[in-house]
Structure 1
Amino acid sequence: MWTTLGDLILHSALWSLLAVGGMNATLADIQRYAVDTRHWVTDQQFVTFFSITQAAPGPNGMAVALIGFQAAGLAGALVTTFAKIIPSALVAYFVSDWVERRNRSPLITAIRRGLAPVTVGLLACAAYVFAQEIDVNVGRIVLTIVTTVVAYRTRFNPIWLVAAGAGLGLGQFVH
């Protein structure tokens, strides 16, 4: 159990520091490690944990706590939560003032320009991982396209899109 806890601490801390653009940017690596390498959760559990944390209020980083709980119980949930929060919070605390003072410097501008495509690439990788983990059928593809278009083109509150998707699933219009 201590090996698992140490592993959870180490990898959660790494994911915390790599979460450029938010936790979603690290989802592909979290999935690879938690599902494929360590077998703490199944593919379906991983998708379910992420879906739950997207629907629940609060940070979507809670998915890591659910993985920790699955891997090592309450102790796993606690260590992953702290290891996911503390490293990035400390970096933000100590670096934010330095960055703010140099906000218009060429170095900060270059860092921001360099991190933007990295973040987009990591998010695209996460989207690819999720696309592989779900049953793809015509109904789900249409629902995904409609949701994407509505979310991108309107100011429609996303919670209603989630509710509509859930309703369609419950009504078995989307299998």
Structure 2
Amino acid sequence: MWATLADLAVHNAVWSLLAVGGMNATLADIQRYAVDTRHWVTAQQFVTFFSITQAAPGPNGMAVALIGFQAAGLAGALVTTVAKIVPSALVAYFVSDWVEQRNHSRIVTAIRRGLAPVTVGLLTSAAYVFARETDVNVIRVLATLATVVVVSWTRVNPIWLVMLGGLLGVVGVMR
């Protein structure tokens, strides 16, 4: 069990530091490691955990606590949560003043410009992981594509799309 806790701590600390653009940027790697490498959760559990935390109030990154709980019980959930929060919080605390003082400097602008495409790439890989696990039939693929189109080309609040998807699931359209 100690090895699992250490594994959870190290990997979540790394993911915390790599979460440029938010925790969702690391989803593809978390899925690969937790599902494919360590088998702590199934692919379906992974999608469910992240879907639940996206819908719930609070930080969406707390899905890793559910993975930690699945892997090592309450101790796993606690270790995972601390490891996911503390490293990036410390970096933010110690770097924020430096960035604020140099907000319009060439170095800060260059860092932001360099990280933007990396973030988009990481988020795209996360979207691919979710689509691969959930789009198991034509109806679901069409729902995903329709959602992308509506979100990309309209100002419709995504919560309406979430509610519509839930309703379609309740009435049995999304099987």
TM-score by length of 2: 0.95
CA distance in 2 between counterparts of 1:8 and 1:174 reads 34
- The aligned counterpart of 1:14 is 14
Offset of 1:141 from its aligned partner? 1.9
1:170 aligns with 2:170: yes
CA distance in 1 between counterparts of 2:139 and 2:104 reads 48
CA RMSD of aligned residues (A): 1.1
1:114 aligned partner, one-letter code: G
Offset of 1:139 from its aligned partner? 1.2
Offset of 1:71 from its aligned partner? 0.3
- The aligned counterpart of 2:77 is 77
CA distance in 2 between counterparts of 1:132 and 1:150 reads 20
Could you say what secondary structure the match of 1:61 adopts? Answer: helix
Corresponding pairs, count: 175
CA distance in 1 between counterparts of 2:145 and 2:121 reads 20
Structure 1 pair 135/145, CA: closer, same or farther in 2 (3 Å)?
Answer: closer
Offset of 1:16 from its aligned partner? 0.3
CA distance in 2 between counterparts of 1:82 and 1:96 reads 21
Unaligned runs of 5+ in 2: none
Offset of 1:150 from its aligned partner? 2.4
2:94 aligned partner, one-letter code: F
CA distance in 1 between counterparts of 2:138 and 2:41 reads 28
- The aligned counterpart of 1:63 is 63
Superposition map of 1:1-175 within 5 A: 1-175=1-175
TM-score by length of 1: 0.95
4+ residue segments displaced more than 6 Å: none
Offset of 1:97 from its aligned partner? 0.4
Q: Contact conserved, 2:135 with 2:141, CA < 8 A, in 1?
A: no
- State the identity as a percent: 78
Comparing 151-160 and 136-145, the one that deviates more: 151-160
